[in-house]
Amino acid sequence: MSNGLRVAIIGYGLAGRTFHSLLLKGVGFEIAGVLTKNQERIALLKGDFPDAQVLSSVAEVIALKPDLVVIASPNNFHAPQAIEILRAGIPVVVDKPMALNAQETQEIITAAESAGVAVTTFFNRRWDSDILTIKKIMTEGTLGNIFRFEARFERFRPLGNSDSWREHLSPAEGGGKLLDLQPHLLSTTIELFGQGELKYSSVRSLRGLSDDDSFLVLKHSNNVDSYLSACEVMGSPGPRIRLTGDLASLVIHGLDPQESLLRQGIYPADGKWSVDTRTPALIHRGEEITEYESVPGDYVQFYLQVKQSLIEGTPMPVSNADALYVAQILDQARANSTR
């Protein structure tokens, strides 16, 4: 499935190695080089992609002249690295969040517009099974008039992990779960219901590390309210998704399986998953509960659209307007919570 497109990846941790490299490989990109100075990750890279060059600076990434650069470094590096690469005339995919705040996000977008090259951010969970299933059921009218959407990333880890940069760095340095998880929740929410107004937010630290509990409420113009929860110390996690109308609720408990598959090294070869990527879904009408046929998750669509954009000039899979909106809502959420 080769298309002759060469890509360089900045960072080879969870995002760079597990998500981006395998999905890029799955749609036929050549991994031409990876920027990492970590010796363990260099060893992994040589085993994964023996022909890829090991790069030690952004200047070396630019000198490689790839067709695309994927930035999967820690959050505080996103903006300076993206801007430097865009100014060199190379299209960029930035892992979420695009930047630390709305100002940096706008600077990236401006750099792309000035250079006349494309940039997008990796809001991959728009292609989760649960989001694709919601799109399907919304076209059928099964739930009636939808008025509430609840989405959660909740788990119970009361001790935390002080070795994780996301958990010990300050928000200004790129740490915290608001930046880590709420971009997924917000990006999928606006994909379904459009941009909304932030009506309530709570962002706080419960374990003495960076923020680990956030709750956002948005009101959309179509009478839908969204309740978005990201919590690391939830002893009784709620359902991953609950979408409610005046006739029924769609409830999805489990996480989309694609991350687990990618962690196992299973990827969508030739652009297609060969395993089941559906998340079970249920329709609740009071005490009556029935199964609903869910839609397979498909992260590969992100990079298929990136590839099409590079070849044909079509839009990137995530608009800059959406990336900026998410950054603005995160800024508002944090500001509201510190007043």
Q: How far is CA 327 from the centre of its chain?
A: 13
Domain-located, residue 329 = no
Domain total in the chain = 2
Return the percentage of the chain with pLDDT > 70, whole number: 98
- Give 223-273 pLDDT, tens digit per residue: 999 999 999 999 999 999 999 999 999 999 999 999 999 999 999 999 999
Q: Are residues 75 and 216 in the same domain?
A: no
Q: Which of 273, 241, 235 is nearest to 255 (CA)?
A: 241
Domain-located, residue 335 = no
Domain-located, residue 336 = no
Q: Give helix 320-337 / helix 177-193 axis angle, nearest 10°.
A: 130
Q: Which of 19, 16, 10, 67 is nearest to 259 (CA)?
A: 19
Q: Which of 332, 328, 314, 334 is nearest to 120 (CA)?
A: 314
Domain-located, residue 331 = no
Domain-located, residue 256 = yes
Residue 110 has pLDDT above 60, yes or no: yes
Per the model's pLDDT, the better-predicted residue between 210 and 216 turns out to be: 216
Domain-located, residue 324 = no
For position 202, which CATH number holds?
3.30.360.10
The Cα–Cα gap between 162 and 210 comes to 10
Q: What is the pLDDT of residue 3?
A: 58
Residue 2 has pLDDT above 60, yes or no: no
Q: Are residues 77 and 153 in the same domain?
A: no
- Give 299-314 pLDDT, tens digit per residue: 999 999 999 999 999 9
Q: What share of the chain is helix, strand, coil (3-state, %, to 5)?
A: 40, 25, 35
- Give 63-81 pLDDT, tens digit per residue: 999 999 999 999 999 999 9
Q: Are residues 279 and 131 in the same domain?
A: yes
Domain-located, residue 46 = yes
Q: Are residues 100 and 138 in the same domain?
A: no
* Full residue range of the structural domain in which residue 46 is found: 6-122+303-319
- Give 18-61 pLDDT, tens digit per residue: 999 999 999 999 999 999 999 999 999 999 999 999 999 999 99
Q: Are residues 12 and 135 in the same domain?
A: no
Residue 88 has pLDDT above 90, yes or no: yes
Q: Are residues 204 and 218 in the same domain?
A: yes
Q: Using 50, 70 and 90 to split pLDDT, how confident is the model at 146?
A: very high
Q: Are residues 131 and 59 in the same domain?
A: no
